[in-house]
Amino acid sequence: MNRILLIPSIALLLLFIIGYALSGGHIATPANSADRPIVFANADEVKTLDVGKMSWANDIRTAMGLWEGLVAYHPETLEILPGVAEKWEITPDGKTYTFHLRSSARWSNGDPVGARNFLFAWKRVLTPSTGADYINLFYPIAGAEAYSAALGGPHPETADFSTVGIHSPDDHTLIVQLAQPCTYFLDLCAFPPYYPLHEAAMQPFLLDRADPSKGYDARWTRPPHLITNGAFFLKDWQFKRELVLQPSPFYWDRAHVKATSLIVKAYEDPRTALLAYQEGRVDAMSFVPQQFGEELLAQQNSHKRNDIHFRPVFGTYYYILNCTRPPLTDKRVRKALALAIDKEQIVTHILRMGQKTVTQLVPPDSIPGYASPAGLSMDVEEARRLLADAGYPDGKGFPTLDLLYNNESIHLQVAQAIGQMWKNNLHIEISYHGLERGSFGTDRRTANFTIARGGWYGDYTDPTTWLDLFKTGDGNNDGRFSSPAYDALLEKAAAEPNPQKRFALLHDAERLLVEDEFPAIPLYQYSDGYIFDPDKVDNLNLNVRLLTQFKWLCRK
Amino acid sequence: MLRFLFWRLVQSLAVLWIVYTVTFVLLMAAPGDPFIGDKKPPEAVRHALAKRYGLEYLEFSPEQRALLTSGQRAAYIVEAYALYLGNALHFDLGPTISYENWSVRDVIVTSLPVSVALGTLSLLLALWGGVIAGTLGAIFKGRAPDLALTVLTLLGVSLPTFVTGTFLLMFFAVVIPILPSSGWGTLAQLILPAITLALFFLAYVARLTRVSVLDVLSADFIRTARAKGLAPYQVIGHHVLSNAGLPILSFLGPAAATVLTGSFVVEKLFAIPGLGQHFVNGCLNNDIPLVLGAVLVYTALIVFFNLLVDIAYAFVDPRVSL
């Protein structure tokens, strides 16, 4: 045999063996045991397991299996259940919460969970250099926002944590003082940024022992270093492959954790995920792929299969109008644009997965006790009249409107459909401006757009998770909408301890947005779902916020 | 030989530095802010993140960047560049932005072996499959087997991997389910992606081989070898391929570098945790440390394999000396 082929072949073969061995490959397929773990597939890898910093659905779902907050969600109704705190008291003014921590709460290494763990974690989130996406979820706590602002300001030495309304008289009691009565505060306490952290386990990973604000080496979030206090602990994490969760032997409610082990995988190609599911290598998928959605739902509706679980969720798709750019400074123009869209066309012809159109920003019927305003439905005559009133009869003299969207998913099609409706109904010109994710985000944040695609998933079960987006000066108020009347309504609601009266005020505030001011045009409520066989996997409940509680999951 | 190696090492380092620098400048020039996050935290939080990565410049929108004087702009970029290059010289590629629990080194260490295993297997398939197909084509020149191979190799070169991959996937994992559709960890899971990745290179090698074998077959020394009464397989195996193999060898260098750093399409289609995805996703997410790390690995591999090919030439071709 000649050398030209042999030398490279041997070199390649050697490289293959080395690479395959280093990559953790096996020669034979690992045997299938009876106690097979439940395999849960996400569309993307977990971005971070630092609970203080997370904000993505996959991360939050995983964190809820690994950690436990002062309180927890009911897997189906999202009602508040005791967690680390076995009981709590709320003062009649709704401003002081006293949590009594159970003495049986344990970290996955056996250490007791105490109030100090919460103090440490919460203080860390409030420190701007931590980089917490959800820092504003702590602002209901008295003094929290001011403390954080002082730390991030020119004189960080003036920041004093004792001014923040978080105190613990002993390690089993945590007292939280709120700035205003916050009816959804317990809901926040069940959410990952509020989870405790095991400071001692993180200490060895401090980048600079003298200055903790420099942060931690990321390895603290990986096994075996990661210590958690929830139903599961992280046994293994192989980047872009899988996370292995196993029941924590020290968890106080171990008796209710039935799964022997849980594997969380990432499949970036939805086709591949679906094939793996059909081969039985995946038990549940946390998404229904858009390109097969219509077909899968049709099979589900004709009872050919029973494993597609799809429902309207706690999110709205809308268009943001930049209220500082003429002619959108005129609310008649904004309203005209809103009234000239046939939303039904968009959901039936573009999305085609049974999404519901909405005339409100807060998804209707998703918050117990909150009555949504009616909103306005399509009315082309009225739209034309409003546009004429604003000085543009039959669209004459109206400048070309720029429509900004990100080049992913179906955003382009939706933009083109809406642009065409505006053109046909109002006789105005639209230009389309598609950008990749990063630039789209920058333009949105800096209000460098006329009309932009928007979408929001609620973070806690309360209308303010949407309504705050339109508060003057809010960091997420991309359209720079500002209305003193609206701000006043929100402020009044924030000070109102009576939940019914508060919801009535918030109802009025939302009505102002969706019937009069139109800083954004609500289009449809997101729908989302899971794929799993209910005869095989039990307790995988689809609540409106898709906050699956891994704790209760088991095989049938 | 030692002198040659020394100069090549100097050249290689220069190439690495130039590629690193150009990539860095391009990444800084690209618009987009990786620190926005889904929920847009307050400015102070975002700024702290940008500062931790030494990338304050990325916080500016294109309009804001345009308003900076060229001196200010240069100062920002040079400061970030000095930080990143300094760290890279200490083999510290920093943390990634989009998967902050993993450093760039972690990402490369976990995904490069995957790409190497998949890539080398594909190259082996491509090399042997291509040489056999090309030689057969040359021997049967103009007849049915040659025609069939020409059509197939043409298809192999022209069809993109997402077409061939999807076809293989549908056929061998769905229609006749004999192979697993995706994942990493068993040899069976390697088969479909390795073939998908190999097809293009196989077709290319086949075409190269066919041409050079035809070239050599008409040479005088082959006629002599035949006249001596050597068996046809000995003529082909010993005399023809030894000479026709040189172009294949020079193709193998860059091909190896390409294949070893992974393929975005194949990795996505077969859910393989390789390195290729990080080039594309890293760019989409403005994950500058990750892209820089991936580019550095890719460049180092290209330089290394070209060097290997040059050395191999000296061994197999008596006309070349180092």
Residue-wise pLDDT tens digits, A65-96: 999 999 999 998 899 999 999 999 999 989 99
Average pLDDT, rounded, for chain A:
91
Q: What residues contact residue A156 under an 8 Å CB cut-off, 6+ apart?
A: A150
How confident is the model over B69-94, as a mean pLDDT? 88
- Write out residues 54-83 of B within 8 Å (CB-CB) of A: 61-64
Please state the domain extents for chain B.
15-89, 107-316
How confident is the model over A37-58, as a mean pLDDT? 91
Shortest Cα distance from B175 to chain A (angstroms)? 12
- Say what the pLDDT of residue A33 is: 56
> Is B249 close to A4, i.e. CB distance below 8 A?
yes
Cα distances from A329 to residues A240, A415, A449, A479, in angstroms, run: 46, 21, 13, 10
> Is B41 close to A132, i.e. CB distance below 8 A?
yes
Fold of A311-528: Dipeptide-binding Protein; domain 3 (3.10.105)
Count of positions (residues) in chain B: 322
Q: Which residues of B touch A438 (CB under 8 A)?
A: 30-34, 36, 284-286
User: How many C-beta neighbours within 10 Å does residue B158 have?
Assistant: 10
Percent of chain B with pLDDT over 90: 25
In a mutational test of the A interface, the residue from B56, B59, B101, B246 whose CB has the highest number of chain A CBs within 10 Å is B101
Q: Please tell me which of the candidates A1, A27, A437 has its beta carbon nearest to residue B187.
A: A27
Percent of chain A with pLDDT over 90: 67
- Tens digit of each residue's pLDDT (9 = 90 or more) over A212-251: 878 888 889 999 999 999 999 999 999 988 999 999 999 9
- Domain spanning B107-316 has what CATH number? 1.10.3720.10
> Is A275 close to B182, i.e. CB distance below 8 A?
yes
> Is B173 close to A442, i.e. CB distance below 8 A?
no
Q: Which residues of B touch A20 (CB under 8 A)?
A: 113, 117, 190
Of A305, A289, A389, A397, the closest CA to residue A339 belongs to A389
> B36 at the A interface (CB within 8 A)?
yes
In a mutational test of the A interface, the residue from B67, B102, B190, B196 whose CB has the highest number of chain A CBs within 10 Å is B102
Average pLDDT, rounded, for chain B:
86
Shortest Cα distance from B282 to chain A (angstroms)? 11
Looking at domain A57-211, does it have CATH number 3.10.450.50? no
Q: Please tell me which of the candidates B46, B117, B286 has its beta carbon nearest to residue A438.
A: B286
Compute the CA torsion angle A539, A542, A544, A550 (nearest 10 deg).
50
Query: In this structure, what DSSP letter does residue A141 have?
Result: B
Q: Which residues of B touch A12 (CB under 8 A)?
A: 120, 123-124, 127, 256
**Beta strand extents in A398-546 (DSSP E only):** 401-406, 430-435, 451-457, 520-532, 537-538
> Is A240 close to B273, i.e. CB distance below 8 A?
yes
Which class for B213: exposed (0-12), middle (13-18), buried (19 or more C-beta within 10 A)?
buried
- Say what the pLDDT of residue A403 is: 95
> Is B33 close to A442, i.e. CB distance below 8 A?
yes
Q: Please tell me which of the candidates B118, B119, B186 has its beta carbon nearest to residue A29.
A: B186
Please state the domain extents for chain A.
57-211, 311-528
- The answer on pLDDT for A1 being more than 80 is no
ipTM value for the complex = 0.86
Which token pair is A233?
A: 């602990």
